[in-house]
C-alpha cells in the first residue's frame, strides 16, 4: 500500500470515528434531556404534594383552634358572642324602626319590633362585651374582732379573699389564652389564598377587643392583688391583737379556777360536816362562775349603756314569757340567802294531792331535788320510796314546807297510840310505856336539849320541854294511850318499830292490861225460855 492510500485509509477511519462520537454524544444529550424532564416532573409533583400538605396542616390547625374558641368553652367567648348577637339584634331593630317610619305601622313590622325588643330585654343592657367580667369581686374592709367567734370569721374572710384572687387570676389566664388562640387563627388564615378581607377584618377587630380587655384586666389584677394583700394583712394584725386578749383572759380564768380548787381543798381539809362542805363548795362554784361571767362581760363590753338597755327589754320580755322560770330563779336566792332549807335537810312537800318526805340532794337555780326515804308517810300513804322528786323553787312562795332538820335541829317528835280495854289498869300501862320510851329515846332527848339551846340564839323559844309526854284519852273501843318522844328525823320508823314491839311484849306479860280492838255485843232472846237473854260477846 502506497503512502496515498495509507492516508486515505486513515482519513476514512477518522471520519467513521467522528460519526460514532457524534452518535454517542447525541445519545448522551437525549439521555440528559429525558433525565432533566423526569427530574423536573418529580420536583413539580413534590412541590404540589408539599403545597397540599401545608394546606392540610393549616386546616387542621384552624379546626383545632376553632374548637378551643367555641363560646361554650369560655365565659369570655360566651359574653363576646352574646354582645355581638345583642348588636345584631339592635341593628335589626333600628332597621325595622326605619321601615315603620317609612312604610307605616305594618302588622308584620310591628310584630318583629316587639319580638326583637323582648329579645333585647332578655339580654339586658350591654355597654361593653366584658363589663361584668372585668370587674373584680368586692373586697370588704377588715372588721374589728370583738369576740373569739369573730376570729373564725376573720380566717374565713382571708380564705375568701384568696379565693377571689385565684378566681380573678383564672379569668386573666383564660383571657390571655384566648388572645393567643385568636392571634394564631389570624396567622393561619392569612396563609390561605382564598380568604376574604371581610373575615380577616372582623377577626382583627375581635382580636383588638380582646387585647383591650386583656390590658384592662392586667392593670386591674395588679390593683386587686394589692387591695387583697392590704385587707388580709389588717385582718391578721387584728387576729394577733385579739389573740393576745384571749391569752390574757384565758390566764385570768385559769387562775380563778385554780383558786376555786384551792378553796375547795381547804374547805375539805378544815371542815368536817359534809353538808357544810357541800354548801361551801356550791358557794365557791357560784362565786367563781359569777366572777368569770363579769370578767368576760367587761372584756367584750363596748358600750355599757346599750347593754343595760338591751338587758332591760330582754328581761321584760323574758319575765312575761318565762314567768315560772324567773319565779324559780328568784326563789333560789330566797332559799340560799334566807336559810329556809338547805342541802341535806329532810322536808315534807305536798304537790297535786301527793305528799313526799325526803332529803334534799341539791338546790339548783330552778328546782329542788329530793330523794324520797322510807318514812311513816311512805308507809301509810305512798307505799313507795326511793324516788327522786323534783320540786320547783317557786313552790316556797305558794306552799308550806315542813323542814324536819332546820338549822341545828336533827330530831322530831313522834308518837305511838295504843288502845287498851276499859277494864285494864291504864295507870300501870301508862307507866310501862313511859319507861320504855325513856329508855329508847333518852339519847335523842339529851341531843334535842342541846340543839334547842343553840337555837335560842336565832329564835325566841317558849316551850323547851324535851321529856317524853304521855296522854290518856277515852275512845270508842277503849282507852287510848298516846306516848310522844323525840327521835332522829332521819330514822323515825326504826325507833317506832322497836318501841312498839317492846310495848306489846310488856303488855302481854301483864294480866291486868289487855289491848283493845273493835268488839260487838249480840243479845239472843230464846222464844221457849222466858228467862233473861243470854249475852254472847263476839270478838
Of residues 98 and 424, the one with the higher pLDDT is 424
Range of 309-318, 456-465, 483-492 with top mean pLDDT: 483-492
pLDDT tens per residue across span 137-179: 888 888 777 777 788 888 888 999 999 999 999 989 998 998 8
The half-sphere exposure of 188 on its side-chain side, counting CA atoms within 13 A, is 19
Q: How far apart are CA 425 and CA 433, in angstroms?
A: 12
**Residue 356 buriedness (CB in 10 A; 0-12 / 13-18 / 19+):** buried
As a whole number, mean pLDDT of residues 498-525 equals 85
Say whether pLDDT at 2 is over 70.
no
In the numeric block, which cell numbers belong to residue 226? 394589692
Q: What per-residue confidence (pLDDT) applies to 519?
A: 65
Q: pLDDT-based confidence at 20, cuts 50/70/90?
A: low
Q: How far apart are CA 365 and CA 282, in angstroms?
A: 12
Distance of CA 314 to the CA centre of its chain: 23
Look at residues 40, 37, 16, 10 and name the one whose alpha carbon lies nearest to residue 24.
Answer: 16
Q: In 311-405, which ranges are E strands?
A: 346-351, 354-363, 367-372, 388-392, 402-403
Q: What per-residue confidence (pLDDT) applies to 534?
A: 47
Say whether pLDDT at 470 is over 90.
yes
Q: Are 499 and 436 in contact (CB under 8 A)?
A: yes
Q: Tell me the DSSP string of 163-211.
A: HHHHHHHHHHHHHHHHHHHHHHHHHHHHT-TT--HHHHHHHHHHHHHHH
Q: Are 418 and 499 in contact (CB under 8 A)?
A: no
Q: pLDDT-based confidence at 25, cuts 50/70/90?
A: low
Angle at 270 between CA 266 and CA 276, to 5 degrees: 95
3-state secondary structure of 46: helix
Say whether pLDDT at 537 is over 50.
no
pLDDT tens per residue across span 66-82: 888 888 888 888 888 88
Q: pLDDT-based confidence at 3, cuts 50/70/90?
A: low
Look at residues 154, 158, 133, 159 and name the one whose alpha carbon lies nearest to residue 143.
Answer: 154
pLDDT, averaged across the chain: 80
Q: Are 406 and 347 in contact (CB under 8 A)?
A: no
Of residues 135 and 429, the one with the higher pLDDT is 429
3-state secondary structure of 538: strand
- Residues across the chain: 539
Would the CA dihedral through 250, 256, 257, 262 be positive or negative?
A: positive
Q: pLDDT-based confidence at 5, cuts 50/70/90?
A: low
pTM beyond 0.85: the answer is: no
pLDDT tens per residue across span 381-432: 888 888 998 998 888 888 888 898 887 888 999 999 999 999 999 999 999 9
As a whole number, mean pLDDT of residues 96-122 equals 80
Rg (CA), the chain: 59
Amino acid at each position: 500500500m502506497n503512502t496515498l492510500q495509507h492516508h486515505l485509509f486513515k482519513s476514512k477511519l477518522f471520519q467513521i470515528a467522528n460519526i460514532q462520537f457524534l452518535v454517542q454524544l447525541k445519545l448522551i444529550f437525549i439521555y440528559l434531556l429525558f433525565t432533566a424532564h423526569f427530574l423536573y416532573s418529580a420536583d413539580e409533583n413534590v412541590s404540589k404534594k408539599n403545597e397540599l400538605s401545608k394546606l392540610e396542616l393549616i386546616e387542621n390547625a384552624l379546626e383545632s383552634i376553632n374548637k378551643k374558641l367555641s363560646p361554650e368553652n369560655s365565659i369570655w367567648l360566651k359574653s363576646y358572642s352574646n354582645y355581638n348577637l345583642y348588636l345584631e339584634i339592635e341593628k335589626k331593630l333600628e332597621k325595622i324602626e326605619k321601615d315603620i317610619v317609612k312604610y307605616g305601622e305594618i302588622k308584620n313590622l310591628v310584630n318583629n319590633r316587639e319580638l326583637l325588643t323582648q329579645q333585647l330585654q332578655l339580654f339586658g343592657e350591654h355597654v361593653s362585651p366584658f363589663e361584668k367580667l372585668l370587674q373584680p369581686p368586692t373586697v370588704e374592709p377588715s372588721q374589728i374582732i370583738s369576740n373569739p367567734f369573730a376570729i373564725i370569721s376573720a380566717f374565713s374572710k382571708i380564705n375568701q379573699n384568696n379565693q377571689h384572687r385565684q378566681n380573678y387570676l383564672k379569668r386573666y389566664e383564660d383571657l390571655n389564652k384566648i388572645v393567643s388562640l385568636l392571634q394564631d387563627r389570624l396567622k393561619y388564615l392569612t396563609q390561605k389564598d382564598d380568604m376574604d378581607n371581610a373575615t380577616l377584618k372582623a377577626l382583627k377587630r375581635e382580636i383588638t377587643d380582646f387585647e383591650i380587655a386583656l390590658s384592662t384586666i392586667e392593670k386591674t389584677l395588679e390593683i386587686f392583688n394589692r387591695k387583697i394583700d392590704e385587707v388580709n394583712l389588717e385582718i391578721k394584725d387584728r387576729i394577733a391583737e385579739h389573740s393576745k386578749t384571749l391569752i390574757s383572759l384565758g390566764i385570768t380564768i385559769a387562775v380563778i379556777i385554780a383558786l376555786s380548787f384551792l378553796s375547795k381543798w381547804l374547805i375539805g381539809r378544815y371542815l368536817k360536816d359534809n353538808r357544810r362542805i357541800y354548801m361551801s363548795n356550791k358557794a365557791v362554784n357560784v362565786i367563781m362562775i359569777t366572777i368569770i361571767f363579769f370578767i368576760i362581760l367587761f372584756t367584750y363590753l363596748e358600750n355599757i349603756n346599750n347593754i343595760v338597755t338591751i338587758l332591760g327589754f330582754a328581761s321584760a320580755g323574758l319575765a312575761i314569757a318565762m314567768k315560772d322560770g324567773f319565779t324559780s330563779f328568784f326563789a333560789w336566792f330566797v332559799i340560799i340567802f334566807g336559810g329556809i332549807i338547805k342541802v341535806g335537810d329532810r322536808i315534807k312537800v305536798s304537790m297535786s294531792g301527793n305528799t313526799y318526805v325526803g332529803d334534799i340532794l341539791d338546790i339548783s337555780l330552778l328546782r329542788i331535788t329530793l330523794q324520797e326515804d322510807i318514812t311513816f308517810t311512805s308507809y301509810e300513804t305512798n307505799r313507795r320510796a326511793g324516788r327522786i322528786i323534783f320540786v320547783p323553787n317557786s313552790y316556797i312562795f305558794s306552799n308550806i314546807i315542813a323542814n324536819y332538820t332546820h338549822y341545828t335541829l336533827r330530831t322530831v317528835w313522834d308518837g305511838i297510840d295504843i288502845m287498851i280495854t276499859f277494864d285494864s289498869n291504864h295507870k300501870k300501862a301508862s307507866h310501862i310505856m313511859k319507861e320504855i320510851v325513856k329508855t329508847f329515846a333518852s339519847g335523842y332527848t339529851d341531843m334535842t336539849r342541846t340543839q334547842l339551846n343553840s337555837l335560842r340564839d336565832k329564835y325566841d323559844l317558849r316551850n323547851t320541854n324535851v321529856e317524853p309526854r304521855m296522854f290518856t284519852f277515852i275512845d270508842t273501843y277503849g282507852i287510848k294511850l298516846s306516848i310522844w318522844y323525840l327521835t332522829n328525823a332521819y330514822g323515825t320508823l326504826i325507833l317506832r318499830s322497836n318501841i312498839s314491839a317492846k310495848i306489846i311484849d310488856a303488855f302481854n306479860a301483864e294480866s291486868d292490861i289487855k289491848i283493845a280492838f273493835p268488839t260487838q255485843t249480840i243479845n239472843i232472846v230464846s222464844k221457849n225460855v222466858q228467862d233473861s237473854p243470854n249475852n254472847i260477846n263476839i270478838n
